[in-house]
Structure 1
């Protein structure tokens, strides 16, 4: 079953998605991940429901008609948006129709996200593609993007093999 983190990783890096899906999870203790966890702990104190886990989704908060997600920055806006759309899609399949809000704390702005039928079709395609990536016998290649230097998987991806 695909998770919200896998949806986000799909838009960031297929290699990271593959490694995470194989339980090679290097995020624990990573500085940026810890900052995100701290942000989540401090956010949405007045929300109806906070840190809600349902099967394959873990929602930051539900506040009235909105599913809320909090992010430090908007550097990964596309991935953030699709992760929230995935949560809305999964809730809709369970009979809960909600809208979404992503709050970017560093920029002090919030973006509304509304699930459309086109988004649902695209999500079905994304989920199929995620399964294809997960089933590959080898991880996808390193993407060599600027975001790699701040990734929890950086050392894993860029470690040079020793000369034997």
Structure 2
């Protein structure tokens, strides 16, 4: 395993959502800047937690968390449609902080639903995140992207046009 790139929280989310998206993103094929959904998320992050001084915190040039609030790491999301990938992303942050001697709990705020979910780093969670990190490295170290796997949220993905360009060409013939 080469492990030439560092892995971050977004990578954990992409790992659960779509292995192909993860691979493309880690290879520098960025489609997010053209996505309305990504723009909505950026606006949300810019306006989230205005009363907190510790926001958008880069940790050891390795990963960035939305905010620190007392005993909590806070993340803000538009909706809970991707709750499992959000949970894995938060577990990654909590795990990485614990490796640095900082023990926190996690809070994910879903603004559209006006609800917050607490995430705790347990021993089971540590094992889960270690396994996920190893699998992410396996994916990004492969020479070609994983195959397209159609899932319901493909149409709202920033990479949709990239992944399904061939289908559009075939439809035109």
CA distance in 2, matches of 1:16, 1:71: 19
Query: How many equivalent residue pairs?
Result: 163
CA distance in 2, matches of 1:160, 1:121: 39
Q: Tell me how far 1:136 sits from its aligned partner.
A: 1.3
Note the 1:4-153 alignment, pairs <5 A: 4-54=9-59, 55-153=61-159
CA distance in 1, matches of 2:163, 2:77: 25
C-alpha contact (below 8 Å) 1:5/1:83 kept by paired residues: yes
Q: Tell me how far 1:79 sits from its aligned partner.
A: 0.2
- Normalised by the length of structure 2, the TM-score is 0.91
C-alpha contact (below 8 Å) 1:48/1:64 kept by paired residues: no
C-alpha contact (below 8 Å) 1:4/1:56 kept by paired residues: no
CA distance in 1, matches of 2:115, 2:43: 19
1:156 aligned onto 2:162 = yes
Q: For structure 2, which runs of at least 5 residues remain unmatched after alignment?
A: 1-5
CA distance in 2, matches of 1:93, 1:46: 28
Q: Tell me how far 1:89 sits from its aligned partner.
A: 0.6
Task: Specify the SS of the correspondent of 1:62.
Answer: strand
CA distance in 1, matches of 2:49, 2:34: 23
Q: For structure 1, which runs of at least 5 residues remain unmatched after alignment?
A: none
CA distance in 2, matches of 1:28, 1:117: 37
CA distance in 1, matches of 2:56, 2:153: 27
CA distance in 2, matches of 1:29, 1:50: 25
Task: Specify the SS of the correspondent of 1:37.
Answer: helix
